[in-house]
Amino acid sequence: GLVNQVVSQLIQAIRSKDGCFSSIQRLGAGSYYEHVKISEPNEFDIMLVMPVARLQLDESDDTGAYYYLSFKRNPKEKYFLKFLDEEKKLSALKMLQALREIIKQEVKNITSKKKVGSPAITLQIKNPPADISVDIILTLEVQQSWPPSTQDGLKIEQWLGRKVRGEFRNRTLYLVAKQNKREKVPRGNTWRLSFSHIEKAMMNNHGSSKTCCEADGPKCCRKGCLKLLKYLLERLKMKHTKELEKFCSYHVKTAFFHSCVMWPNDADWHSGDLDHCFQKYLGFFLDCLQESRLPHFFIPQYNLLSREDKASSDFLSRQISYQLNNRFPIFQE
């Protein structure tokens, strides 16, 4: 409730300031909205979505996830022109700065801080006994087909069906303001594809039969498995912050979607088999760590576990194996 109140107030302020952000809409993303939040609801991701027409997408590297954006012809919305850089590319950095300024004026009582390279503006809302942190993510909504790098991704035919895949691929394309770390000279003008709206849809309709986990339908343990591995990673990151800083819950979530495809039937995730299913899913994640290979679920050429991070993958692999072989002492702590 508190978050909704703050965000509604913010959106009103942002819309009224100047033409640039007048069409902004909110979209809840992340674990809270997918109903897989594991601890206190103290972290929220809010995507502030701006519709943009006729963009040209140029890949900024070989991942297929990061793009430079430019207008195919002069935009009707003239205010976009001030966000172009000298190469006529739409600058994520300029847009974020403008948005952050508006937010700063509006929320003198809320501290906003910037994480380096993060696509988010983070608000800390004082809410004793603990603060709530809200990540505000600037997102462009583009009405055009998904880029070629996504062609072989989203392999859900056996799990959710060919029809569902078609429906998903017809949905809007989202791009978030996100610095590409692989750029030699970061200029703040890269944008990353975002599929959080599709991820949310898959989470909330996760069964191969349409009745999985409905009030009177059979229950599965898919979300239970995901929550366990998220919790395990969260606890390990608390203990080994430095060694595991490269890892985040998105790795676990990506491995989860791949597992749903490998074991597509609801019978593979029977609610009574949580222990067995969790070990299968965990085994797959360990394989990914050992091979330093976890393909992005929507962009298969994009490996989320790069070879350079082999040492931290090995470290996490050892930590998880220890927990697995000793019946997860960390859950008892």
Is the separation of the CB atoms in 178 and 191 below 8 Å?
yes
Q: Write down the residue that tokens 């927990």 correspond to.
A: 323
Which residues are CB-neighbours of 270 under 8 A, at least 6 positions away?
220, 221, 277
Residue 149: predicted pLDDT:
97
CA dist 179 → 18, 19, 56, 117 (Å): 25, 25, 18, 5
List the beta bridge partners of residue 175. 140, 193
H or E stretch covering 316: helix 310-325
Residue 73: φ, ψ to 5°: -145, 170
Residue 118: predicted pLDDT:
60
Which CATH number applies to 206-331? 1.10.1410.40
Q: DSSP assignment, residue 100? A: H
Full-prediction pTM beyond 0.75? yes
H or E stretch covering 18: none
Is the separation of the CB atoms in 193 and 174 below 8 Å?
yes
Q: Give start-end residues of each CATH 3.30.460.90 domain in the chain.
A: 2-196
CA distance 238 to 328: 15
**CB neighbours (10 Å) of residue 104?**
13
Nearest to 220 by CA among 175, 260, 255, 180: 260
Cis peptide before 148 (omega within 30 of 0): no
CA distance 166 to 57: 22
CA distance 206 to 208: 7
Domain at 2-196: CATH architecture: 2-Layer Sandwich (3.30)
3-state secondary structure of 106: helix
CA distance 253 to 227: 9
Residues 77-92 as b/e (b if ≥16 CB within 10 A, e otherwise) read beebeebbbeeebbbb
Q: What is the pLDDT along the chain (333 residues), one digit of tens a residue?
A: 877 888 888 888 888 876 778 888 888 766 666 667 766 667 788 889 999 888 999 999 999 999 999 998 887 778 888 999 999 999 999 999 888 888 888 776 455 555 555 657 888 887 777 788 888 889 999 988 999 999 999 999 999 999 999 999 999 999 999 888 777 666 788 999 999 999 999 998 999 988 898 888 889 999 999 999 999 999 999 999 999 999 999 999 999 999 999 999 999 999 999 999 999 999 999 999 999 999 999 999 999 998 888 999 999 999 999 999 999 999 888
CA dist 104 → 14, 107, 211, 290 (Å): 11, 5, 46, 44
Nearest to 281 by CA among 238, 212, 210, 233: 233
Q: Give start-end residues of each CATH 1.10.1410.40 domain in the chain.
A: 206-331
